[in-house]
Structure 1
């Protein structure tokens, strides 16, 4: 007999011997000893009852607090399949490989491999990360747990750990029953932030009240994702203790799928192999993907011939599947409100405008002179957009208030673009400055409605000179030790570039004064214009279609930096030349 087994049996023999001696003494002491023993036993039972009563209340409280907002979905319950996930065929192909592994866990292990334990889905909101996890679970015919990472956090230290332990305990039980189980944790960055950056669940304080559990919650998640091989049932543990089970403990196939918009902030321990083995970036669909998604949703609604998947996909560059679904539904709502039997393209367009800019809220009390100011402001934007942006089309120009903007001039790309030239960035700067140019030329005054226009123009000019190396130097503030000092030095050049582009766009609006006047007059008469209507105005005035946009170049900038007073400029990431700059959408 091994020493460890003899120690166990020795403890049992000692306890039995002690109880036997106490029994003999009580028997020999006759009624008096028995009476004293009964009294002591009664007192002990009362104390035990009081202790148990307090423990039950305490345990009940923790049980109530430890219940996480986790939804358990059994195989086939959602009914979503590969046919329901549209727009990203490459993502589907990778997900199908994971399903193949989940279905053949036993055969895969027999080959000597280990089942995948974690899949991290990264990407912007609305791209279908949680939906993809549901499809994987349904196609693999395994149970699916849907949990939100913030729901694990609790004001009592340790309660969040209990939630995570309970979640994985149930998942392992279901994995033994169904062969595998999937746990989906949404917004995992709430508890998985890097501990070196002070994250790890945003814990603060100490002791019993820790406001979320801090790094302890992350540590518990790390342990549960990659635990040691242990027996999970008490019967198996009993057999192993009695030496009736000698084989290695089997680890159930539990796949943890997590979603985040911020993969860069996650702790490195989460991202190592054995936890999140794979990472998939789920991005917004391209044109073909959007056509596929629109075909899927438009088949479910009544629509006329004007609303096609191809036309809608061209208007929704950058949209996520969730946004596309919302816009299609809103188009049906608008069609129903006007008592139509089918949704049209105009309903779809109205739904997009409401989603992007807000409801129409006309200012009926606005004076005619103020309406004229707004009309020429937006006309300046529209003319610059129409003549200078080669890869964009004017989509809508309006002087009707939407949200916080008194008016706006918006464009849509003619096709998807993934990089921009120096001429295109300068064209964007001129579009931003065109409203001020129109005000000075045709109104003879400067208005305060150019706040966001000047901000966007300054941001793009700073990026043009100091980030992407399109000026006379290859300097980049991204590599500078002190970006603030670099921006102070760049301020004179930024201002000179803006003045140069202002002069160029002012010449443009002067040469197309008839175009400006015509657009402003139509805006005052009708309130808004579409891109097609603006192009029609141009054809009627000049007898030709939209000309090829010119190649824009700046004048030579100053050779050396000028000293400038300290000023506060935007932080990192604000000065991005790829930032969407739909000019004219600022409150006037």
Structure 2
């Protein structure tokens, strides 16, 4: 078979390393369902790998390495002593790692004096190394297309948003009624994000369509998070309710635009009850079934009475979040209006601008209409641009000031 040929070739080429990527494709736990042609072939491949690994001698000088994102579904036979018994967990980079990765990729391009890679690192939690590389490359492409001499901070932030949430669709024609509903929806999220300090701090809010979303409210944690406190969960659940509430309060109608918000709210409420032991009625107990069992589902590990209580508690947590969010927005409705009207005029607001509007301050920046009119005049008139000012190199040692070179 191909497996035997692979191991035979490795022994003949020793010292040698065999690397099996996505080992879970053939190494899933056996006996998890009825047999089929696909299952039979997969199990035969797994058995062949196990037989070949058992046939190794220390003198063969062949190392077998495998990679997977689903170590929890691997067959126990794979991880027994003498096989894949040594496991190395490679987690996503933390903020320090993200900064170092960005610095490596930044050496290929030219950065402007306003670039702060540490800020980008803080704003990219749960990004992989490949995604961070894509951010730098997308920023370089964008800067080149805009005929810039170097990458600016706004290029990096736009690239980050594109990598995570998809390309913005500024040219999409949107009816005014839908645009108003979107502005109030996002304003509801943004205002609650600012009013609830236990949640993640607001980064920016926009009504520019991106991916499948008509608008978005972006928030990033101040530091890497490895767990969720009850205060954070409660604040986050209230923030996700804010969009539907503000939209309905303004328009008197509801839409499917809150689908992802409802999904996030439900996921958190279920986790509170089933996994995190946060329900007083159910106690410090985990009710989620394990992943052992057949492919057609798991038998419940609790009674029908307990199942009914679980449903009631999930509903209670979700309803409490919705009601609290509704009361907060009604008490601060003038702030929602200020942010929504500014979004209709400017389309995108930073966190500082939102906080200023909530304090009653005016926003001193050109509207989208002003920018479009200025761009139209600029295209009709010849322009002469001065070269960028030279500044001292930052202490990160990165080259700054000339044309970027996208990969």
TM range (shorter): 0.7 to 0.9
For residue 375 of structure 1, what is the aligned residue in structure 2? 183
- Alignment partner of 1:477 out of 265, 279, 287: 287
Post-superposition offset of 1:469: 2.5
Q: State TM-score, norm by structure 2.
A: 0.78
Task: Give the match's secondary structure for 1:281.
Answer: coil
- Alignment partner of 1:443 out of 251, 265, 284: 251
Matched, 1:264 2:72: yes
Query: Structure 2 CA distance, aligned partners of 1:355 and 1:174?
Result: 41
8 Å Cα contact 2:142-2:155 kept in structure 1: yes
- Per-residue Cα deviation, 1:259-284 (whole angstroms, up to 9, x for no partner): 11111222222212222241100000
For residue 366 of structure 1, what is the aligned residue in structure 2? 174
Matched, 1:165 2:11: no
For residue 403 of structure 2, what is the aligned residue in structure 1? none
Task: Give the match's secondary structure for 2:258.
Answer: helix
Larger radius of gyration: 1
Structure 1, gaps ≥5 residues long: 1-160, 230-249, 543-588
Matched, 1:187 2:56: no
For residue 221 of structure 1, what is the aligned residue in structure 2? 49
For residue 311 of structure 1, what is the aligned residue in structure 2? 119
8 Å Cα contact 1:398-1:527 kept in structure 2: yes
- Per-residue Cα deviation, 1:245-271 (whole angstroms, up to 9, x for no partner): xxxxx8320001111111122222221
8 Å Cα contact 1:363-1:401 kept in structure 2: no
Task: Give the match's secondary structure for 2:202.
Answer: strand
- Per-residue Cα deviation, 1:16-61 (whole angstroms, up to 9, x for no partner): xxxxxxxxxxxxxxxxxxxxxxxxxxxxxxxxxxxxxxxxxxxxxx
- For residues 457-472 of structure 1, the aligned pairs below 5 Å read 457-472=265-280
Query: Structure 1 CA distance, aligned partners of 2:250 and 2:225?
Result: 34
Q: Answer 1 or 2: higher relative contact order, Cα 8 Å, separation at least 6.
A: 2
Post-superposition offset of 1:490: 3.1
For residue 292 of structure 1, what is the aligned residue in structure 2? 100
Post-superposition offset of 1:486: 4.1
For residue 209 of structure 2, what is the aligned residue in structure 1? 401
Post-superposition offset of 1:539: 4.2
- Alignment partner of 1:523 out of 327, 334, 343: 343
Task: Give the match's secondary structure for 2:226.
Answer: coil
Post-superposition offset of 1:400: 1.9
For residue 352 of structure 2, what is the aligned residue in structure 1? 532
Matched, 1:489 2:309: yes
Query: Structure 1 CA distance, aligned partners of 2:341 and 2:93?
Result: 39
Matched, 1:254 2:62: yes
Task: Give the match's secondary structure for 2:276.
Answer: coil
Query: Structure 2 CA distance, aligned partners of 1:335 and 1:212?
Result: 52
Indicate the RMSD between aligned Cα atoms, in angstroms: 2.6
CA 1:485–1:325 in 2, change beyond 3 Å: closer, same or farther?
farther
Post-superposition offset of 1:484: 7.6
For residue 134 of structure 2, what is the aligned residue in structure 1? 326
Post-superposition offset of 1:182: 0.9
Q: State TM-score, norm by structure 1.
A: 0.55
Aligned length: 350
- Between 1:508-517 and 1:319-328, the stretch displaced more is 508-517
Task: Give the match's secondary structure for 1:397.
Answer: strand
Structure 2, gaps ≥5 residues long: 290-299, 363-407
CA 1:484–1:287 in 2, change beyond 3 Å: closer, same or farther?
farther
CA 1:525–1:466 in 2, change beyond 3 Å: closer, same or farther?
same
Task: Give the match's secondary structure for 2:55.
Answer: coil
- Between 1:450-459 and 1:367-376, the stretch displaced more is 450-459
Query: Structure 2 CA distance, aligned partners of 1:272 and 1:182?
Result: 20
For residue 412 of structure 1, what is the aligned residue in structure 2? 220
- Alignment partner of 1:274 out of 78, 82, 106: 82
- Alignment partner of 2:147 out of 329, 339, 342: 339
For residue 78 of structure 1, what is the aligned residue in structure 2? none
Post-superposition offset of 1:389: 4.1
8 Å Cα contact 1:189-1:266 kept in structure 2: yes
Post-superposition offset of 1:228: 5.8
Query: Structure 1 CA distance, aligned partners of 2:130 and 2:148?
Result: 25
Query: Structure 1 CA distance, aligned partners of 2:166 and 2:79?
Result: 40
Post-superposition offset of 1:520: 0.6
Query: Structure 1 CA distance, aligned partners of 2:173 and 2:148?
Result: 32
- Per-residue Cα deviation, 1:375-408 (whole angstroms, up to 9, x for no partner): 1111001111122143522123122222211122
CA 1:264–1:458 in 2, change beyond 3 Å: closer, same or farther?
closer
8 Å Cα contact 1:181-1:253 kept in structure 2: yes
